[in-house]
Homo-oligomer: A and B are copies of this chain.
Amino acid sequence: MTNIEEIGARARAAGRRMALMPTERKNAALEAIATALIDEANAAEVLAANAIDVAAGRDAGLSPALIDRMTLTPQRLAAIAADTRAVARLPDPVGERFDATVLENGLRVHKRRVPLGVVGVIYEARPNVTVDVAALCLKSGNAAILRGGKEITRSCAALTRLIQNAITQTGLPADAIQVIDDPDRALVEQLLRLDRYVDVIIPRGGAGLHRFCREKATIPVITGGIGVCHIYVDQAADLEMVVPIVHNAKVQRPSVCNALDTLLVHRAVAADVLPAVARDLLASNVELRADEAALAILRDAGFDTPQIVPAQESDFGVEFMALILSIRVVSGLDEALDHIARFGDHSDAIITRDAATAEVFVQAVDSSAVFVNASTRFNDGGQLGLGAEIAISTQKLHARGPMALRELTSYKWVVEGDGHVRA
């Protein structure tokens, strides 16, 4: 039987050692993981465990898309190994000193970056997340407790054994990466209440998982990975930009959280913009759910296809995760801002040549990332220069937008005196 309390205590002890681990040792550990992932004998064990998960998934009637996401191959392991090596090459945030100052009384004060401690990550049936999360947590000096989807229990266990073997060879504590490889869901609830040992919970999954974690956790939960994304085409938009940006945001990868959901178009340019956008998106099999004004413009322009349907109220404020786009014509910036204030918090963009309008938009839109003349798809740790990503936070506390190594740290105050006492 899995004893969560014991896993927590071991993680806390390992975290304490990890916090003091030199960068070179952490990097060597990541290299050892990468090497093991492409080593035939090690890989064989992982692939065998994964094959059992996949077979069980097929028997259980899982969808082909899910089966594909679950499946590991030597090629996929090599890609995961390459990602692990990339994390090894990123700068180590731990120990960074900042906000240094000398107070009037002579006290020397600075903040020093430290690991969070123990990170709990709950994810779905994607075995690669096991290694991705382990690499980021180890490099940032944290211990991690992992809980993958019940469909991949054996894959996660095998990958964790591989990770533990690799990192102990370079002097890291095996308990720095632990997995809950018991599919009993009650264990997740226990994990969420382990505030004595766990510093943060990062759920990676749908809205249901996030809600469950917020409801049950006595530990801070990072909320993210979910959101309704908007592009507002301003009356001063460079029309040449509109089709490529909207296409990219909607079509390039519709199943992810930074994909476009709703297009807002200023009515002054709607007749110019919408036919071109529609032509492009229809050719990529996107279903358009247009409000009355947009529908009238498209019908006037001669569009007559079942791919264009009238939008319902429920088509706004919804994350489609599919080739569907809702379209609304707005009277101007204010109406666009009101709409985004109501539904947005993830990635929202304006297309405009007017710098003043862009600045108003940037100031007023309260989302994790605000874009001017660029695709919402850039809200991603790899794309924004973090080199990796453990989550995209849409909450305000701690970190917002893409989170990677620095976002897996906290800080402590260091105060040095010469016998100073408080007056």
Residues of A within 8 A of B (CB): 16, 19-20, 95, 101, 103, 107, 109, 112, 114, 116-117, 195, 199-200, 214-215, 218-221, 238, 240-241, 244-245, 247-249, 252, 341, 358, 362-375, 377-380, 383-385, 395-398, 400-402, 410-422
Contact = CB atoms under 8 A, between A and B. Distances in A.
Given A16-B366, A214-B218, A220-B397, A244 B415 contact: no
Given A220-B395, A413-B368, A375 B422 contact: yes
B103 A385 contact: yes
B367 A416 contact: no
Interface of A is mostly: mixed
A362 B400 CA distance: 29
B373 A117 contact: no
A402 to B, nearest CB: 8
Given A374-B416, A410-B396, A384 B103 contact: yes
A373 B416 contact: yes
B414 A370 contact: yes
Contact of A16 (B341, B410, B422): B341
A373 B412 contact: no
A245 B19 contact: no
Contact of A378 (B215, B402, B415): B415
Nearest to A242: B419
A245 B419 contact: yes
Contact of A240 (B219, B419, B421): B419
Contact of A412 (B114, B368, B415): B368
B372 A416 contact: yes
A175 to B, nearest CB: 16
Given A371-B417, A419-B245, A401 B412 contact: yes
B200 A397 contact: yes
Contacts of A411: 400
A115 to B, nearest CB: 8
A121 B367 CA distance: 24
Contacts of A252: 421-422
A368 B341 CA distance: 36
A21 to B, nearest CB: 11
Given A410-B400, A415-B369, A421 B385 contact: no
Contacts of A414: 362, 369-370, 372
A114 B421 contact: no
Contacts of A220: 220-221, 395, 397-398
A420 B383 CA distance: 12
Contacts of A109: 384-385
